[in-house]
A and B are shown apart, each in its own frame.
Chain A
Amino acid sequence: MNKETSDIVDRIIYHAHNRPDKIAFGNFSYRQIAKKMCSLSLAINGLRVLVACENREESYIGMLASLHAGATYAPVDVNAPESRLNRILDKFKPTDIIVGLKDQDRFETVHRVGGECRISRQVVSDLPAYVIFTSGSTGEPKGVVISRKALNQFLRWSASDLGISHNSRVSQHPNVAFDLSVLDIYTGLYNGAQIFPIQSNLDKMFPGRCIQRNKLTHWISVPSVVDLIAKDVSIKHNDFSTLEKMIFCGEPLLPRHLEYIYNLNEKLIVVNTYGPTEATVCMTKLELTSKDWQSKINGSVALGDAIPGMEIELKDGRDNSEGEIVISGGQIAEGYWLQPELTNKLFVDNKYHTGDWAGIVDGEMYFKSRIDRQVKIQGNRVELGDIEQCIYDLTKKATACIKHQDRIIAYIEGSEINQTELLNKISENTVEYMRPYKIICLNDLPRNMNDKIDYNSLAALAEEAV
């Protein structure tokens, strides 16, 4: 089989024939998942498949069956609020719904993951591979449409460049409704690896012990999971001896994450990647070692270089050293599901305007902030992220700043803050118009369902506080 031309479904069938008894995930061998994929594929009648399984392993088979049937799937988190699921159902209008054993009573007209049949060729299709519904800044689900061509291009890179082989034991941490899961599920299966779904509460809350118990070789997640691992003081130096690589995406990777990781295992290779869902998971890569990581830090870790077939440029900055990240190449999404106006606004001349602001320092690109986090104060452009970073450096506490009535309000997580002292220190580090007018301490910063700071709630709080 030619790896250059085959896709994930072909590769599953290839492994089913060549390593039939090799475990793919759970108790399922590659032969079993190929048979389950083909059986479920036969049941799919239409073009749009909602994959709504609580169990991860059933989700994987559901997604593969949709690809095998030539349909387009949308994976959802069945534990999301009912209102969000209903909005996704309204937008996607699935022709078929795939559910697991636990979920069959929640939806009408469903197909259950379960049966097996003879392995067969997939249906040739030009339809998109999947639609991932993200939250969007308004909280309204926004469907990002990824073509089969984009998925195949991404997998050709990830399967050949991340050191995952049929001997690898790969974590599967992100929920399947989050596009980072495309990286671990499909790259692992593409290369015949064994993947380990992190779905029990125990594994989610003690990921370090999960790495040890399952002798994982590759860990893939958002960087903030490292903070959770670090809470577990029973994890000691060299406990991650089987681990070869930790691959991160979805949030800025911070110096404290790398300090912790390299104190545990100095032989680890850490891979930082960057990319919005609209670029099919990620489109830059930077490899770090214990010897060189400190040279790639500027607040957070550098984003790295564009991967093959993708390009990255900065636009609309004061000069070439800063600007909005604009990306292009074969992994770019087809657009937003049934939202042509928004698609035309953000996908211009086959380039996607990310809304992320970045800067170049010593030849490396660093994420700075979302563009919608840039405000004007007394006519001066201020990046709220810069003030948050300044306060974080002084307090080591999570911080969020907003603009309210032409003034900056800073919210700090925690209660033990000497506000006068802190304001004096901020004054030493910032120009006058950047200094917060008020600092408000909260036990917890409000967060949305993706665990990101909920700035709308903070703005509402400001109305009451000022």
Chain B
Amino acid sequence: MKKDEFLIEFSKIIKVPVDQITENEALGTTPSWDSFAQVEILILLEKEFEIEIDENTMNWYISLNRILKLVN
């Protein structure tokens, strides 16, 4: 999955239009990035980038900035 494709999926999950997404989006900061959205984001990362969902990854992938390092 390329960055553009990821951002489209990400945008649907956090309910922010793609053109309004910034690298500052984060769990607890972006209003609609709640625990439900976090589950969907982690599952997307698991499926597309084969991350293993565990306590470490859950605590790490909590901002778009960090996620984009995986995507790029």
Per-residue CB proximity of B15-59 to A under 8 Å, as 1/0?
Answer: 100000000000000011011101110110011000001110011
Are A202 and B54 interface neighbours, CB within 8 A? Answer: yes
Closest chain-B Cβ to A46's Cβ sits at a distance in Å of 38
Which B residues are in CB contact (< 8 Å) with A228? Answer: 35-36, 39
**B57 and chain A: residue at smallest CB distance:** A202
9 closest cross-chain pairs (CB), A and B: A231-B39, A443-B31, A443-B32, A202-B55, A205-B39, A201-B58, A444-B31, A231-B40, A202-B58
Interface contacts beyond A205-B42, A209-B53: sample of 17 additional A-B pairs, CB < 8 Å, sorted by A: A200-B55, A202-B55, A205-B39, A206-B39, A227-B36, A228-B36, A228-B39, A231-B36, A231-B40, A232-B43, A233-B43, A234-B43, A234-B46, A414-B15, A443-B15, A443-B31, A444-B32
Binding site for B on A (CB under 8 A): 200-202, 205-206, 209, 227-228, 231-234, 414-415, 443-444
Closest chain-A Cβ to B25's Cβ sits at a distance in Å of 13
Bound Cα distance from A200 to B56, whole angstroms: 11
Which B residues are in CB contact (< 8 Å) with A200? Answer: 55
Which B residues are in CB contact (< 8 Å) with A231? Answer: 36, 39-40, 43
Chain A interface helix/strand/loop/mixed: loop
Bound Cα distance from A205 to B58, whole angstroms: 9
**B44 and chain A: residue at smallest CB distance:** A233
Bound Cα distance from A310 to B58, whole angstroms: 44
Could you say which of B15, B39, B54, B58 contacts A232, with CB atoms under 8 Å apart? B39
Closest chain-B Cβ to A442's Cβ sits at a distance in Å of 9
Are B55 and A415 interface neighbours, CB within 8 A? Answer: no
Which B residues are in CB contact (< 8 Å) with A205? Answer: 35, 38-39, 42, 58
Which A residues are in CB contact (< 8 Å) with B31? Answer: 443-444
Could you say which of A206, A233, A415 contacts B53, with CB atoms under 8 Å apart? A206
Which A residues are in CB contact (< 8 Å) with B34? Answer: 444
Which B residues are in CB contact (< 8 Å) with A443? Answer: 15, 31-32
Bound Cα distance from A231 to B46, whole angstroms: 13
Which B residues are in CB contact (< 8 Å) with A209? Answer: 53
**B37 and chain A: residue at smallest CB distance:** A231
**B34 and chain A: residue at smallest CB distance:** A444
**A204 and chain B: residue at smallest CB distance:** B35
Bound Cα distance from A227 to B43, whole angstroms: 15
Closest chain-B Cβ to A166's Cβ sits at a distance in Å of 31
Closest chain-B Cβ to A9's Cβ sits at a distance in Å of 34
Bound Cα distance from A234 to B48, whole angstroms: 13
Bound Cα distance from A228 to B43, whole angstroms: 12
A201 with B59: in contact, given A231-B39, A231-B43, A234-B46 (CB under 8 Å)? yes
6 A-B pairs within 8 Å (CB atoms) are namely A206-B39, A227-B36, A231-B40, A232-B43, A233-B43, A415-B15
Which A residues are in CB contact (< 8 Å) with B47? Answer: 234
**A201 and chain B: residue at smallest CB distance:** B58
**A233 and chain B: residue at smallest CB distance:** B43
Which B residues are in CB contact (< 8 Å) with A415? Answer: 15
Closest chain-B Cβ to A198's Cβ sits at a distance in Å of 13
Which A residues are in CB contact (< 8 Å) with B36? Answer: 227-228, 231
A201 with B43: in contact, given A443-B31, A444-B31 (CB under 8 Å)? no
Which A residues are in CB contact (< 8 Å) with B32? Answer: 443-444
Closest chain-B Cβ to A411's Cβ sits at a distance in Å of 14
Which B residues are in CB contact (< 8 Å) with A202? Answer: 53-55, 58
Which B residues are in CB contact (< 8 Å) with A234? Answer: 43, 46-47
Closest chain-A Cβ to B51's Cβ sits at a distance in Å of 13
Bound Cα distance from A200 to B36, whole angstroms: 16
Bound Cα distance from A231 to B44, whole angstroms: 11
Bound Cα distance from A415 to B17, whole angstroms: 11
Which B residues are in CB contact (< 8 Å) with A232? Answer: 39, 43
Bound Cα distance from A228 to B40, whole angstroms: 10
Bound Cα distance from A279 to B18, whole angstroms: 49
Which A residues are in CB contact (< 8 Å) with B53? Answer: 202, 206, 209
Bound Cα distance from A232 to B32, whole angstroms: 18
Closest chain-B Cβ to A388's Cβ sits at a distance in Å of 20
Closest chain-B Cβ to A452's Cβ sits at a distance in Å of 15
Closest chain-A Cβ to B50's Cβ sits at a distance in Å of 13
Closest chain-B Cβ to A406's Cβ sits at a distance in Å of 31
Closest chain-A Cβ to B61's Cβ sits at a distance in Å of 12
**A442 and chain B: residue at smallest CB distance:** B31
Bound Cα distance from A201 to B38, whole angstroms: 11
Closest chain-B Cβ to A247's Cβ sits at a distance in Å of 23
**B30 and chain A: residue at smallest CB distance:** A443
Bound Cα distance from A167 to B37, whole angstroms: 36
Bound Cα distance from A414 to B58, whole angstroms: 26
Which A residues are in CB contact (< 8 Å) with B39? Answer: 205-206, 228, 231-232
Bound Cα distance from A209 to B58, whole angstroms: 14
